[in-house]
Structure 1
């Protein structure tokens, strides 16, 4: 039976009525933290081969000079193409923030990477318009974030279980809503933007562990921007595309949760409650508790790689099914391989984007330790449910010991155990290392932390794209 709803109309009303003054202090504080995290990831991602291919393709296509590309200098490309590159860059390391859900019915718990699509759309449209200030960008970001997260929360988990990648599908609505808000779309044009977004939404999980996985988010940004721009020109779509027998919820997820949908958009804002998780590691969020557990085990016992005989990893299907590579051959597969991630912690005692290099992952030490790591579906863990990410590590040592460590269910980076501001700044600097110099890092960090106060959006975008103030002055002469 098809559910009747007016969720599209609710989304339109929310986007239209929200003002900067409506945003609570908590939302602004968390929003700035999400932006610091995301901007750092644009920088780190700009160095990835996948992003460089996309940047070269966008520059070769040419077209309107709407917005620059991360790490590519002053040359500008059409807004939608820029969105593809920026969005892929932000998700290239799988290190961007994740939406939180407390609903035990959500088998995979954390549903979408919410910040990259709306922030990408907001920065690119602001760059194109040239007259948007930091408050405008913050408002557009918050609106897109909320629309994206509520759609994701209300969908039945069947969407993800069927193989859809929520950050690609639902992320399209986040980008469309942010772009539409900044462009001032209302009424019929706003409805058309959401209708176009519904047909553009795409991304399937078979491509996890490949360059195409981050491209899902890049395409969400590209398609969301395209939806808003076409709608602004009068392009039409169904005005209730989320609802009805052939609407997004029905086709992509076999319905939605009616009780949760009664909550409505913004009551409260998802960014405040249940919140958002900032990732400590550049890998799937479902792996982080286990990686922290392995790090604790290694440090507590001062465990050396040469002392390890075998690793046994026990977990439920909520980890084992999506984290699917038994032995990773490259850094992209390693993000979805528990043997690779645990081996990385044992060998390096950390896992930053500097460790996620093909040569290291394919090297003898990593391949050998991965082959000596068993991933075991623990039925007792499964029986406890999927409201939390539970796992246990047992390490057999060559001298006959068995070292055991359970993962902490309060994962680091989540609302109950957040990374503090100094830790977040350290992550930003790690991402910016080798991309921009230290003075530029501090300038950019200050601009993002004060984005809705006094920030110069043009300068902020220039720093991400690698345009120096001197080069810009010369170009203007």
Structure 2
């Protein structure tokens, strides 16, 4: 049962903190963490610009009389959809915050002519803190109700980020959040289809529009988050969201959540639920090759949680979108080619005979001991290779995927991922170098961020 005591005034308090974030002095680590989030998100956004989900959305917007190349909710939708189209964007608090926040910051900057790099970093932080504050009040992941957190929490984060760029006062920031709460949506049933990245696109556009409506004086409930019929209770999987706790982020008692729980960067362009099993499969690949490769494998046992197994529901994927949610394909790709990268998610690769031959030999074993710190995950994932002679090669248990905040990528590994994403989209070497240098220098000097922002918008929405 939800707590019936008078709830903490979360909507109003978050409005105050978002307004204050536009002038806040971020702790030393936060600007670099925000720059890293921009680098990762913008790189995968450019790489995802010509995915069917991105291309068809732009075409449809144009057919409806909208103009995605112009700064607008249509552009926000196009950028965010592209950022999530490859399922390669970062993860935190159960969803994909940066895919929604970064495009909201860019479009608001274009609309307002706001080119101060540090202001854009603060806006990112405001969006991230808002997402973290709302998500952390629910003891269960929204997946438990079949809801995609990116579509559900994204409008709030995008509204906060845009409101920060606009410099809204506390009351209008709170109104923007309340308006965003009536735009939350996203069904897990659509995982493995074009609708999933569209969740991010719609969330970003809705949050941006909410901030602009609030600036114009549009009214909304003053307690939309904490009210008896408000967001936290209406969508709660547990039935007992935390309605009493004061704000922990934004430099309050819990510090800045961006600093304490930075986004986890994806090493592979597939659903995060399978990353630990990919790491496990790659760790034993050399031993498998020494034993004759795929021909010497009788069967493969993958151990993971029930929830993650349910998310990775395509055992025989027919499209690249389905392959991004196929545990069997992840493991077959890792053992066959030694990687699960952008090129491995192409149509010809998912039909590669050796991978098709391996997938039926993969069995799932559900682990009932769960991770105390990552709700929905097993305490550890692992992969066991049963050879034709009956012997077994087992990976070490994988507790944190490479790229997780507790096992972070190095700066060079982040740069390598960005380089690969940009090169895959046909971006020339000198442009790649310029983009990465500009991203890492954002807010470090007085130079305008305008060329950087306009270049990104032109690459994806133009």
For the criterion TM > 0.5, the same-fold answer is: yes
What are the equivalent positions in structure 2 for 1:214-233 lying under 5 Å apart?
214-233=197-216
1:86 corresponds to which residue?
Answer: 79
The answer to whether the 8 A contact 1:168-1:203 is kept is yes
2:434 corresponds to which residue?
Answer: 443
The CA deviation string for residues 420-447 of structure 1, in whole angstroms up to 9 with x for no partner, is 0100000001100142111000001111
The answer to whether the 8 A contact 2:12-2:171 is kept is no
The answer to whether the 8 A contact 2:126-2:250 is kept is no
2:322 corresponds to which residue?
Answer: 333
The answer to whether the 8 A contact 2:101-2:161 is kept is yes
Structure 1 gaps of 5+ residues are 70-75, 100-109, 473-477
Distance 1:279 1:385, change over 3 A: closer
SS at match of 2:256: coil
The CA deviation string for residues 395-417 of structure 1, in whole angstroms up to 9 with x for no partner, is 12234432111332132112221
TM-score if structure 2 supplies the norm length?
Answer: 0.91
Over 6 Å off, 4+ runs: none
What are the equivalent positions in structure 2 for 1:25-104 lying under 5 Å apart?
25-63=28-66, 76-99=69-92
Distance 1:409 1:289, change over 3 A: same
**Cα offset, 1:78, TM superposition:** 4.8
The CA deviation string for residues 220-242 of structure 1, in whole angstroms up to 9 with x for no partner, is 10110111112222221112110
1:72 corresponds to which residue?
Answer: none
- Which of 10, 13, 17 aligns to 2:16? It is 13
What are the equivalent positions in structure 2 for 1:451-462 lying under 5 Å apart?
451-454=442-445, 456-462=448-454
What are the equivalent positions in structure 2 for 1:113-124 lying under 5 Å apart?
113-124=96-107
Matched, 1:350 2:339: yes
**Cα offset, 1:203, TM superposition:** 0.5
TM-score if structure 1 supplies the norm length?
Answer: 0.88
**Cα offset, 1:274, TM superposition:** 2.6
2:358 corresponds to which residue?
Answer: 369
Distance 1:317 1:266, change over 3 A: farther
1:423 corresponds to which residue?
Answer: 413
Matched, 1:290 2:296: no
User: 2:320 & 2:23 partners in 1: Cα distance?
Assistant: 41
**Aligned residue pairs, count:** 448
User: 2:79 & 2:438 partners in 1: Cα distance?
Assistant: 18
The answer to whether the 8 A contact 1:243-1:249 is kept is yes
1:102 corresponds to which residue?
Answer: none
The CA deviation string for residues 235-290 of structure 1, in whole angstroms up to 9 with x for no partner, is 21112110111110010113423576563543311111132211111112221111
Distance 1:196 1:146, change over 3 A: same
What are the equivalent positions in structure 2 for 1:134-153 lying under 5 Å apart?
134-153=117-136
**Cα offset, 1:369, TM superposition:** 1.4
The answer to whether the 8 A contact 1:114-1:149 is kept is no
- Which of 144, 158, 171 aligns to 1:188? It is 171
The answer to whether the 8 A contact 1:150-1:265 is kept is no
Structure 2 gaps of 5+ residues are none
User: 2:137 & 2:345 partners in 1: Cα distance?
Assistant: 34
Computed over aligned residues only, the root mean square deviation of the Cα atoms, in angstroms, reads 2.3
User: 1:400 & 1:152 partners in 2: Cα distance?
Assistant: 46
The CA deviation string for residues 190-234 of structure 1, in whole angstroms up to 9 with x for no partner, is 222111100001101110111111110111101101111122222
Matched, 1:168 2:151: yes
1:395 corresponds to which residue?
Answer: 385
